[in-house]
Amino acid sequence: MFRLKERIKSWMGPLWWYTLVLFCVQRLGDVINAFIGLWLVPKYVTQEELGAVLPLGQVGGILALPLAVLAVTFSKYVNAFAMRGEYGKVKSLIRDVLVLVVVLFVGIILYAQLFLPLVFERMRVGDGRLGMLVVVSGVLGSLAAFFTNALQALKKFKLISVIGLISAPLRLATLLVFLPIRALSGYFVGQIVPLLYGVGAALFGLKGIVFNKALKAVPYWGQDGRGMMRFSAHVALGSLFGVIQPLVETFVIRHRLPDIDSAGYYMISRFAEIGSYVGMTMMFVLVPLGSEQHERGEKSQKLVVHAMGGALGSGLLLAFGFWLMGKHLLNLTPMWRIYAGFTPHLALLTVILTLRATAQCFMSHEVVCHRFGFYWYTSIIAMCEAFFLYCITGFSFFEPWVSASWIEWVADLNAGRIGFVLIVMLWSSLLSLLAMFGQLALQRCERSRKTQSS
């Protein structure tokens, strides 16, 4: 059996093999998460507040954006140091990151006090202790990303799989206790507890580096500091626009659309996210493999083409299944039946998330290869979409400055509906991905030209 496994692994290659292993393991956890998202949360969170779940989660992410930027840089350089056998630098980097997280956490709490009241007013939910839970959830999510990225960079995929397997039932147990007490706050407690476990388990997995007294911490800043700063600056720009786009989309749906539309979007998104599972798993494996090949000066385009093809093909296949069977799916239970009217949007949202998962494979690979040219067009597309959505759905704001005929024309568009928002999301996602395929083609032509000239 061992020989057969090694033969299959050699035939598939590391990208597809580890993707398959992680995909199978993670999907076991996703069964529990599907139960949480499709049954448990809608049972306790009222329809009036259900649509606020996704945008509030995005708020936590944007509050912790500085940590998210550091997490990407951290992953890249942990992988580079480990590949060169410089584990003393890895130890120093992990220790410095922990100190920096504490400092940034204090700063996040301070600016959240000004930012969150405005958010809760637009989300139509009460504050109470919810604000602090949103902040802690966002910070812990980024902190967990630090340690997951460290394990990823060191290719400890087995430990990552174990953490994912245990996190899902732990989240379920926490939500079963806290959701009945206070729905929205209980939801974020359910996010926080498994994140705490994930951080602790990752630290245990890294004990051979972090707590190894025999391993001497080696300074890295003098030799690698300038490169890390340049890398972080590029990542910060891309991360900012990458966070703003989904944040604005969920905010528009919650702020500008009726409660039933935002609740319906939450429900169909739980199904549609399945379309990105293969792509996100392939991206997770692609990052350390692509980084290693780049550091060695080897070509890695084949890896990214395989990842993008796997992500796109699997997601579109699922979208086709939802197009055929979505109505029957949403009519399976009384809890879902009230959202059966959103069936036409289910396949469309699956296509959108599939396109974005495919694009994420390309962007992650480009970042670890220190190529940031895609930022100029993805940032322009993201900002244009965000600006357009908020303006077109809140067009009455411009009434004193524009003609009555323009206001009447925009009103006839009926932009304040889920179908219109999804069409805008589709076009922006498709445009970005087409530009990425064009960039891939240009890279291939450039390599062919260099090969012929040499």
> What's the pLDDT tens digit per position in 385-419?
989 998 888 777 677 777 777 777 777 878 888 99
Q: What is the band of 367 on the pLDDT scale with cuts at 50, 70, 90?
A: confident
C-beta separation of 104 from 66 below 8 A: yes
Listed in sequence order, the residues at least 6 apart from 243 whose beta carbon sits closer than 8 Å to its beta carbon are 58, 61, 62, 65, 68
287-301 in b/e burial notation, b at 16+ Cβ within 10 A?
bbbbbbbbeeeeebe
One-letter amino acid for residue 348 of the chain: L
Furthest-apart CA atoms within the chain: distance in Å: 76
**Predicted structure pTM score:** 0.76
Residue ranges of alpha helices (H) inside 126-156 are: 130-153
> What's the pLDDT tens digit per position in 309-325?
888 998 999 999 999 98
Say which range, 193-197, 207-211, 386-390, has the weakest mean pLDDT.
Answer: 207-211
Q: Give the mean pLDDT of 364-382.
A: 84
Tokens 């059966």: give the residue: 340
